[in-house]
Amino acid sequence: MAQDSSKTDGAKADDPRVLVSTDWLAAHAKDPDLRVIDASWYLPDMGRDAIAEYDAGHIPGARFFDIDEISDQRSELPHMAPPVEKFISRMRAMGVGDGHQVVIYDGHGIFSAPRVWWTFKLMGKMDVAVLDGGLPKWRAEGRPVEDMPPVIRDRHMTVQRQAHLVKDVTQVAHASKLGDWDIVDARAANRYRGEAAEPRPGLRAGHIPGSKNLPHRDLITPEGTLLPPEALRAKFEAAGVDLAKPVITTCGSGVSAAILSLALERIGHRNHSLYDGSWAEWGMYNDLRVATAKP
């Protein structure tokens, strides 16, 4: 079922390892090895309850992935990537395992689904895609939703963690100093420049020295879908990102950074990692340098 989109300008409209359309999902809805996941997650100021919305109506057969619960709760940082054992346990309980094609969506369009897509990739699961436009597009097209929980059948899952897909604070600090990676920040421009206070208390304002700014909203169309590959590439280049170099994506807490990671994958840029701690970590430590103007 998986396809390749290794060439930037030749990326397929539907790539079950990166991004699929609502038409694709509707056509494959009855496939026995398809698993659909609702990965909705919202910032506090959005005033939305992801679990309540899932209970009220979701794409038929969808399981709910709780980003805050399926995380490393030993960490003081928000929703850090889960330990392998916890991921396996939660996925088996959701009936998601080896041999499944996974499609992930969220209730915003494209916001939190890429974070769960990245988590699956981190665990070595390749046949996983984000639903372009998410639940809003699915609903707008008059496609079915249900409020019944899915029938779960346990499925074995094996994991091969892909450590190269994630960076810690020490690795990011080295990249910032050496400039051998391009660091790209998905936060809004006013937060990147240090002109707006951070929503999490106690964090300094600004950005990682040497990082570039590409707000995640700039990669999404007014209809809530990901921009076409050519337009995505143009956005990265306009932000000053050298696509010949490896890229580290970052944001406020590691969620919207995954939108940049998804976009990089969409244009065929495979050498990218996500800074899981993101600004929630960097902005907390006074011994880490902070920049407050464009580099």
Q: Which two tokens stand for residue 74?
A: 């030993």
Q: Which two tokens stand for residue 167?
A: 């960076």
Contact between 101 and 32 (Cβ < 8 Å) = no
Whether 264 is catalytic is no
| Burial class of residue 264, CB neighbours in 10 A (0-12, 13-18, 19+) | buried
Q: Which H/E stretch holds residue 189?
A: helix 189-192
Choice among 251, 255, 258, 274 that is catalytic: 251
Q: Is the dihedral of CA 249, 85, 63, 157 positive or negative?
A: positive
Amino acid occupying residue 235: K
Here the contacts of 85-89 (C-beta below 8 Å, separation 24 or greater) are 87/119, 87/123, 87/159, 88/157, 88/159
List Cβ neighbours of 114 (8 Å cut-off, separation of 6 or more): 130, 258, 259, 261, 262
- Residues forming the active site: 251
